[in-house]
Amino acid sequence: MLIALLILVLLALILTGFVFYSKKSLKDVIHPEENLTVTSTAFAEGSMIPVQYTGKAENINPPLDLGNLSPQSKTIAIVMDDIDFPVGIYNHWIIWNIPVAYTSIPEGIPHDQVIVSLGNAIQGKSQYGGKHYYRGPLPPFGVHRYVFKVYVLDTVLELDQNAGKIELQKAMDGHILQYGTLMGKFGQERK
Protein backbone atom coordinates (compact mmCIF):
# COMPACT_ATOMS: atom_id res chain seq x y z
CA MET A 1 0.00 0.00 0.00
CA LEU A 2 2.82 2.41 0.92
CA ILE A 3 4.69 1.58 -2.30
CA ALA A 4 1.57 2.20 -4.40
CA LEU A 5 1.04 5.54 -2.68
CA LEU A 6 4.67 6.52 -3.26
CA ILE A 7 4.39 5.60 -6.96
CA LEU A 8 1.23 7.72 -7.30
CA VAL A 9 2.93 10.69 -5.63
CA LEU A 10 5.97 10.36 -7.91
CA LEU A 11 3.78 10.15 -11.02
CA ALA A 12 1.83 13.23 -9.93
CA LEU A 13 5.06 15.15 -9.34
CA ILE A 14 6.45 14.15 -12.74
CA LEU A 15 3.21 15.11 -14.52
CA THR A 16 3.24 18.56 -12.89
CA GLY A 17 6.75 19.29 -14.13
CA PHE A 18 8.50 18.66 -10.83
CA VAL A 19 12.32 18.65 -11.09
CA PHE A 20 14.32 16.21 -8.98
CA TYR A 21 17.79 17.11 -7.74
CA SER A 22 20.01 14.08 -7.52
CA LYS A 23 22.08 13.40 -4.43
CA LYS A 24 25.03 14.47 -6.58
CA SER A 25 23.70 18.05 -6.59
CA LEU A 26 24.90 18.39 -3.01
CA LYS A 27 28.25 18.98 -4.66
CA ASP A 28 27.26 20.99 -7.75
CA VAL A 29 28.74 24.08 -6.19
CA ILE A 30 32.27 23.55 -4.94
CA HIS A 31 32.02 24.11 -1.21
CA PRO A 32 35.02 25.48 0.54
CA GLU A 33 35.89 24.01 3.88
CA GLU A 34 33.18 24.79 6.40
CA ASN A 35 34.66 27.93 7.89
CA LEU A 36 31.45 29.75 8.74
CA THR A 37 29.66 29.25 12.04
CA VAL A 38 25.89 28.78 11.58
CA THR A 39 23.71 28.41 14.68
CA SER A 40 20.10 28.93 15.68
CA THR A 41 18.43 29.77 18.96
CA ALA A 42 15.57 27.49 17.82
CA PHE A 43 17.46 24.19 17.57
CA ALA A 44 20.96 22.73 17.88
CA GLU A 45 22.91 20.96 15.14
CA GLY A 46 21.38 17.55 14.48
CA SER A 47 18.38 18.03 16.77
CA MET A 48 14.67 18.21 16.00
CA ILE A 49 13.34 21.39 14.39
CA PRO A 50 10.50 22.86 16.52
CA VAL A 51 7.08 22.42 14.96
CA GLN A 52 6.40 26.17 14.47
CA TYR A 53 9.13 26.19 11.77
CA THR A 54 7.45 23.36 9.83
CA GLY A 55 4.55 22.83 7.46
CA LYS A 56 2.57 21.40 10.38
CA ALA A 57 2.26 24.79 12.07
CA GLU A 58 3.32 28.40 11.35
CA ASN A 59 5.65 27.48 8.47
CA ILE A 60 8.11 30.27 9.25
CA ASN A 61 11.87 30.16 8.87
CA PRO A 62 13.89 29.68 12.05
CA PRO A 63 16.35 32.36 13.15
CA LEU A 64 19.94 31.85 12.01
CA ASP A 65 23.08 33.43 13.46
CA LEU A 66 26.31 33.64 11.50
CA GLY A 67 29.78 34.09 12.91
CA ASN A 68 33.29 34.84 11.64
CA LEU A 69 32.36 36.57 8.37
CA SER A 70 35.23 37.45 6.08
CA PRO A 71 36.03 41.19 5.76
CA GLN A 72 35.81 40.81 1.96
CA SER A 73 32.21 39.54 2.10
CA LYS A 74 29.37 41.47 0.48
CA THR A 75 26.26 39.28 0.59
CA ILE A 76 24.81 36.09 2.06
CA ALA A 77 22.77 33.38 0.36
CA ILE A 78 20.85 30.57 2.04
CA VAL A 79 19.60 27.29 0.59
CA MET A 80 17.49 24.87 2.66
CA ASP A 81 17.06 21.31 1.40
CA ASP A 82 15.48 18.06 2.52
CA ILE A 83 18.35 15.66 1.90
CA ASP A 84 16.31 12.54 2.69
CA PHE A 85 13.59 12.95 0.06
CA PRO A 86 13.04 9.48 -1.48
CA VAL A 87 14.15 10.34 -5.03
CA GLY A 88 16.74 13.07 -4.50
CA ILE A 89 17.27 16.37 -2.77
CA TYR A 90 14.14 18.50 -2.33
CA ASN A 91 14.63 22.26 -2.10
CA HIS A 92 12.46 24.19 0.39
CA TRP A 93 13.94 27.70 0.40
CA ILE A 94 16.42 29.96 -1.36
CA ILE A 95 17.27 33.53 -0.53
CA TRP A 96 20.18 35.67 -1.73
CA ASN A 97 21.66 39.18 -1.65
CA ILE A 98 21.29 39.49 2.11
CA PRO A 99 23.77 42.27 3.03
CA VAL A 100 26.51 41.04 5.37
CA ALA A 101 25.39 43.54 7.99
CA TYR A 102 22.61 41.04 8.74
CA THR A 103 24.54 38.33 10.56
CA SER A 104 21.37 37.47 12.51
CA ILE A 105 18.67 36.31 10.14
CA PRO A 106 15.36 36.75 11.96
CA GLU A 107 12.65 34.14 12.12
CA GLY A 108 9.46 34.67 10.14
CA ILE A 109 10.84 36.47 7.07
CA PRO A 110 7.82 37.81 5.11
CA HIS A 111 6.41 35.72 2.28
CA ASP A 112 7.53 38.15 -0.43
CA GLN A 113 10.04 38.02 -3.28
CA VAL A 114 11.89 41.17 -2.15
CA ILE A 115 12.55 41.41 1.59
CA VAL A 116 12.90 45.11 2.36
CA SER A 117 13.59 44.38 6.05
CA LEU A 118 16.69 42.40 4.99
CA GLY A 119 18.25 45.03 2.73
CA ASN A 120 16.17 44.04 -0.33
CA ALA A 121 17.24 40.41 -0.24
CA ILE A 122 15.53 38.19 -2.82
CA GLN A 123 13.66 34.96 -2.18
CA GLY A 124 13.81 32.85 -5.31
CA LYS A 125 11.53 30.09 -6.47
CA SER A 126 11.83 27.00 -4.30
CA GLN A 127 11.18 23.53 -5.60
CA TYR A 128 8.44 23.10 -2.96
CA GLY A 129 5.40 24.37 -4.83
CA GLY A 130 7.41 26.96 -6.78
CA LYS A 131 6.88 29.52 -4.01
CA HIS A 132 9.02 32.57 -3.27
CA TYR A 133 9.22 31.96 0.44
CA TYR A 134 10.26 29.48 3.10
CA ARG A 135 8.32 26.24 3.09
CA GLY A 136 9.07 24.30 6.24
CA PRO A 137 9.65 20.59 6.75
CA LEU A 138 6.68 18.32 6.09
CA PRO A 139 8.01 14.88 5.17
CA PRO A 140 5.48 12.36 3.87
CA PHE A 141 6.81 9.72 6.28
CA GLY A 142 9.71 9.09 8.62
CA VAL A 143 12.24 11.57 9.96
CA HIS A 144 14.09 13.66 7.37
CA ARG A 145 17.22 15.79 7.65
CA TYR A 146 16.97 19.44 6.58
CA VAL A 147 20.18 21.33 5.86
CA PHE A 148 20.46 25.12 5.94
CA LYS A 149 23.47 25.87 3.70
CA VAL A 150 24.79 29.40 4.14
CA TYR A 151 27.13 30.98 1.59
CA VAL A 152 29.08 34.20 2.15
CA LEU A 153 29.81 35.82 -1.21
CA ASP A 154 32.16 38.46 -2.55
CA THR A 155 29.47 40.00 -4.79
CA VAL A 156 25.85 41.05 -5.19
CA LEU A 157 24.19 38.50 -7.46
CA GLU A 158 22.45 39.67 -10.63
CA LEU A 159 19.73 37.04 -10.73
CA ASP A 160 16.11 37.13 -11.87
CA GLN A 161 13.67 36.93 -8.96
CA ASN A 162 12.17 33.78 -10.50
CA ALA A 163 15.50 31.96 -10.40
CA GLY A 164 15.62 28.60 -8.68
CA LYS A 165 18.32 26.68 -6.88
CA ILE A 166 20.24 25.62 -9.98
CA GLU A 167 20.47 29.20 -11.28
CA LEU A 168 21.53 30.39 -7.82
CA GLN A 169 24.27 27.76 -7.61
CA LYS A 170 25.61 28.71 -11.03
CA ALA A 171 25.62 32.42 -10.12
CA MET A 172 27.48 31.73 -6.85
CA ASP A 173 30.18 29.63 -8.49
CA GLY A 174 33.52 31.42 -8.11
CA HIS A 175 32.13 33.93 -5.57
CA ILE A 176 31.93 31.81 -2.41
CA LEU A 177 34.23 33.10 0.33
CA GLN A 178 32.77 31.08 3.18
CA TYR A 179 30.36 28.23 3.68
CA GLY A 180 28.61 26.71 6.68
CA THR A 181 25.67 24.47 7.46
CA LEU A 182 23.12 23.77 10.15
CA MET A 183 21.20 20.50 10.03
CA GLY A 184 17.95 19.81 11.82
CA LYS A 185 15.49 16.92 11.68
CA PHE A 186 11.74 16.70 11.47
CA GLY A 187 9.16 13.95 11.07
CA GLN A 188 7.71 11.03 12.89
CA GLU A 189 9.55 7.96 14.11
CA ARG A 190 8.04 4.62 13.10
CA LYS A 191 6.29 2.87 15.96
Within a 10 A sphere around the Cβ of 175, how many other Cβ atoms?
17
Q: What is the pLDDT of residue 88?
A: 87
Q: What is the pLDDT of residue 140?
A: 85
Cα–Cα separations (whole angstroms), residue 100 to 62, 81, 94, 123, 182: 18, 22, 16, 16, 18
**Please, which residues have CB within 8 angstroms of residue 72's CB and are 6 or more apart in sequence?**
154, 177
- For residues 64 and 150, is the Cβ–Cβ distance under 8 A? yes
Give bridge partners of residue 182 from the DSSP assignment: 148
List per-block mean pLDDT (blocks of 10 residues) for the chain, which spans 191 residues: 50 44 43 85 98 95 95 97 91 97 96 95 90 91 96 97 95 96 88 51
With a threshold of 0.85, does the pTM exceed it?
A: no
Would you tell me which CATH number, out of the four given (3.90.79.10, 3.40.1190.20, 3.30.930.10, 3.90.280.10), belongs to the domain 22-187? 3.90.280.10
Q: What is the pLDDT of residue 31?
A: 56
Q: What is the pLDDT of residue 1?
A: 56
Q: What is the pLDDT of residue 10?
A: 47
| Domain assignments of the chain as residue spans, ordered by start | 22-187
